[in-house]
């Protein structure tokens, strides 16, 4: 089946200001974009910042297919706040911002990074808080047809982040037990932690809500590492995955897409 590629504009086109990246993706031939949370310093940006972000996507004429919940200060190494009892309010406040962006841009998939383990707070308490916050988020975005995504991250790169494998993420899905909480299949993170990508697709196809790709090791473009993308794409096709495949890799130099000649859309 035809592959639908989207560009993650928080890791690609970073040679440009944030508000110019959706247009750059369009000019490179893409029809869809996704972003991490654009304002790492705050869960609730100003109205003018929200408006400028939405306007940049509208002006570019591309589909907005993915956005993160507030995840703390990602440039400083934070990877989510939803499991932190002291910061649950920040996560929930960002849900209102996502709702306003969804009204403007049509985005319906929202990545909720779990957060690293904390000193002085038991893992059980963090998991309890995370479950409550994910259920809250699921109900909030369900009102407009949204999906909450749960993502494992590469071991050693993201602090004591407790979701490392597909099994870790699926366990969270089962614990939350909301139909619109899905598994974010990120080829780089899963491969980095030793998961068999094709097996994960076969065993958890019904749980996959979104796919992101980068090669491993290195998180470069497909073809720069050891992942067999031909086999992975065949597995996704055989499993009936028909969603977007988001490009979330670190380019070697100015953003380019020469690798797509081997695996075209």
User: Which active-site residues does the annotation give?
Assistant: 151, 248
CA torsion sign for 126, 129, 135, 141 is negative
Q: Are 115 and 131 in contact (CB under 8 A)?
A: no
- 136 vs 102: CA distance, rounded Å: 17
- 79 vs 71: CA distance, rounded Å: 6
Q: Are 213 and 245 in contact (CB under 8 A)?
A: yes
Q: Which residue has the tokens 């991490």?
A: 36
* DSSP SS3 for 5: strand
Q: Are 116 and 78 in contact (CB under 8 A)?
A: yes
- b or e along 214-251 (b: 16 or more beta carbons within 10 Å of the residue's beta carbon)? bbbeebbbbebbebebeebbebbeebebebbbbbbbeb
Residue 224: DSSP 8-state: S
Radius of gyration of the chain from its Cα atoms, rounded to whole angstroms: 17
Closest CA to 204 of 178, 165, 262: 165
Closest CA to 150 of 107, 186, 124, 117: 186
């Amino acid at each position: 089946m035809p592959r639908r590629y989207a560009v993650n504009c928080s890791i690609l086109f970073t040679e440009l200001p944030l508000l110019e990246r959706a247009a750059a993706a369009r000019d490179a031939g893409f029809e869809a974009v996704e972003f991490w949370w654009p304002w790492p310093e705050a869960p609730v940006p100003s109205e003018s910042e929200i408006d400028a972000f939405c306007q940049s996507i509208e002006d570019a004429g591309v589909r907005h297919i993915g956005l993160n919940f507030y995840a703390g200060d990602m440039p400083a190494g934070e990877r989510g706040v939803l499991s932190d009892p002291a910061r649950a309010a920040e996560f929930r406040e960002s849900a209102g911002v996502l709702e306003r962006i969804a009204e403007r841009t049509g985005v319906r998939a929202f990545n909720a990074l779990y957060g690293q383990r904390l000193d002085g707070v038991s893992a059980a308490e963090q998991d309890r808080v995370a479950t409550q916050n994910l259920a809250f988020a699921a109900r909030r975005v369900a009102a407009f047809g949204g999906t909450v995504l749960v993502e494992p991250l590469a071991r050693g790169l993201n602090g004591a982040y407790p979701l490392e494998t597909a099994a870790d993420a699926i366990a969270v899905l089962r614990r939350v037990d909301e139909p619109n909480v899905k598994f974010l299949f990120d080829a780089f993170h899963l491969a980095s932690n030793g998961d068999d990508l094709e097996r994960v697709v076969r065993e958890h196809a019904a749980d996959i809500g979104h796919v992101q790709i980068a090669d491993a090791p290195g998180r470069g473009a497909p073809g720069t590492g050891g992942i067999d993308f031909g086999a992975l794409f065949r597995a996704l096709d055989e499993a009936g995955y028909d969603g977007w495949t988001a490009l979330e890799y670190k380019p070697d130099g100015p953003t380019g897409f020469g690798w797509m000649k081997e695996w075209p859309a």
